[in-house]
Chains A and B, each alone.
Chain A
């Protein structure tokens, strides 16, 4: 080829970069610039007024905390359940294809639809979940899953666990499938117990994929919107208000475009900081 090998990266990487910059460049810049404008001042002045309001906004700090709790537990549970299921699905198991499809099912329902369905299932009077639990004797009285202030966030996280773990599971399953079998065989011959095999073969082999799954899932969960919006609209009160629903409200319900932009910029900066370690790890030279 006429291109030197060390310049070949451009052939591979640049198409993606160009697409992203072309399509997202202008919207991203206008959005960021918007956050420095205010409705009163118009286009002329650039101020930090929106950011100052953010600091004083009592709802913002609650929302921020909720988002942290929601994302942390969602991602952690995704990783644990996803890894466990991936390992089971990677083992010698009959009817594997069927189980794999079942484990994938929650992922094929769109966010908004899942939110609507679960909201209905969670309903204290005519919800299927309470009905089922009472019928099989686990409950005596219906639980107010989404109205009880102590349960609301937990109920939301449980739905998000259902909805999102297949993503992690699929990545980790693919990762597990690429760990060479002979490593396990050699260890078994050496008499190493399963736990040892897990710690010394599986985990290191999966390390890169775990980093990828973590980073992507964190970004994805911070973006998670339709699910929560459909189930609780951020309520009761602001108990399940997260940054995505809060931004949506500001933009589409209150028409406070500039303020919504400021919230988004803050959200982006925090996400960037959180994902820096992952970016570092994934770009390590082997």
Chain B
């Protein structure tokens, strides 16, 4: 156990209180909008517009939750978003980890330039790139496909994933690699069997980042798809903001349900990667 003192002293109690107080404040800060979202999602449309607002709905209804699935094709949006975001997350983390390892262990010429290049590709705003990218996709027939979107998101995520994974892999001592190579292990073998398990917590962060980037994107999903069967969750939610009215309960319900996969993914990754693999890995 970390941070254990031999005896419980008054200073410790003060520190503990402060820490708990801080934690509670942070939780409130994080949760208040969600409380509001939940409350609104359970209201009727009319009550959502009430001035002054009600925190506890006067009339509880799950209508919006049913509505998004039944009236608004949420099932299709969900399917698309899940496939696209998962594929982006897995591929981005995989290729990012590969590149991160390469940058971490090898000191080749042009290394610094390439590291900077990766980051530099993200400095041009998507607003400019989406137009020409759209043209390319049309020419190769990938317009209005999930594949086209996956590739687009990959190129946005990959530099971030690379930087993140490099940072995590840097902390794994090179001696482990060397001793494994002496034992006859190949570089790729070291990568898969030794390094990746150790950086599992970092992989969780990287996978989640890529997943959320792909899931929450609006601009690319908007411009690179046109048919109803390709709509993503975020795009679908944006549609509830119409010209004339915002269907608040549905917007809230859609947002809450849309946030679920990321949370589930996080919990799943924590179990699978961190607990399953790093047990004992950090102790030297």
Contacts and interface: CB of A to CB of B under 8 A. Distances in A.
Interface in A159-183: 162, 167, 170-171, 173-175, 177-178, 180-182
Contact of A132 (B37, B50, B55, B259): B55
Contacts of B198: 178
A267 B128 CA distance: 12
A178 B216 contact: no
Interface in B79-124: 95-96, 98-99, 101-103, 105-108, 111-112, 114-124
Contact of B123 (A5, A132, A219, A251): A219
A28 interface: yes
A192 interface: no
Interface stretch (A43-51, A52-60, A231-239, A272-280): A272-280
Contacts of A283: 103, 111-112, 115
B263 interface: yes
Contacts of A240: none
Contacts of A102: 27, 30-31
Greatest chain A CB density within 10 A among B1, B118, B128, B166 is at: B128
Contacts of A181: 2, 282-283
B55 A128 contact: yes
B218 interface: yes
A92 B23 CA distance: 13
Given A13-B114, A121-B36, A99 B27 contact: yes
A79 interface: no
Contacts of B246: 116
B205 interface: yes
Interface string A5-36: 11011111101110110011011101100100
Interface string A84-105: 1100100111000101111111
Contact of B167 (A15, A84, A212): A212
Interface residues of A, number: 106
B171 interface: yes
A177 B155 contact: no
B98 A15 contact: yes
Given A19-B158, A109-B259, A24 B129 contact: yes
Contacts of A97: 267, 270
B224 interface: no
A38 to B, nearest CB: 16
A28 B132 CA distance: 8
What does DSSP make chain A's interface, helix, strand, loop or mixed?
helix
Contacts of A27: 128-129, 131-133, 136
B4 interface: yes
A264 interface: yes
A167 B209 contact: yes
Interface of A: 1, 5-6, 8-13, 15-17, 19-20, 23-24, 26-28, 30-31, 34, 81, 84-85, 88, 91-93, 97, 99-114, 116-118, 120-121, 125-129, 131-132, 162, 167, 170-171, 173-175, 177-178, 180-182, 184-185, 188, 194, 208-209, 211-212, 215-216, 219-220, 222-223, 225-226, 244, 247-248, 251-252, 260-261, 264, 267-268, 271-272, 275-276, 279-280, 282-283, 285-286
Interface of B: 1-5, 15, 19, 22-23, 26-27, 29-34, 36-37, 49-53, 55, 95-96, 98-99, 101-103, 105-108, 111-112, 114-129, 131-133, 136, 151-152, 154-155, 158-160, 162-164, 166-168, 170-171, 174, 181, 186-188, 191, 198-199, 201-202, 204-205, 208-209, 212, 215-219, 234, 237-238, 241, 246, 248, 251-252, 255, 258-259, 262-263, 266-267, 270, 278, 282-284
Name the 6 nearest CB pairs between A and B, nearest first.
A12-B102, A110-B216, A9-B106, A27-B132, A13-B102, A108-B259
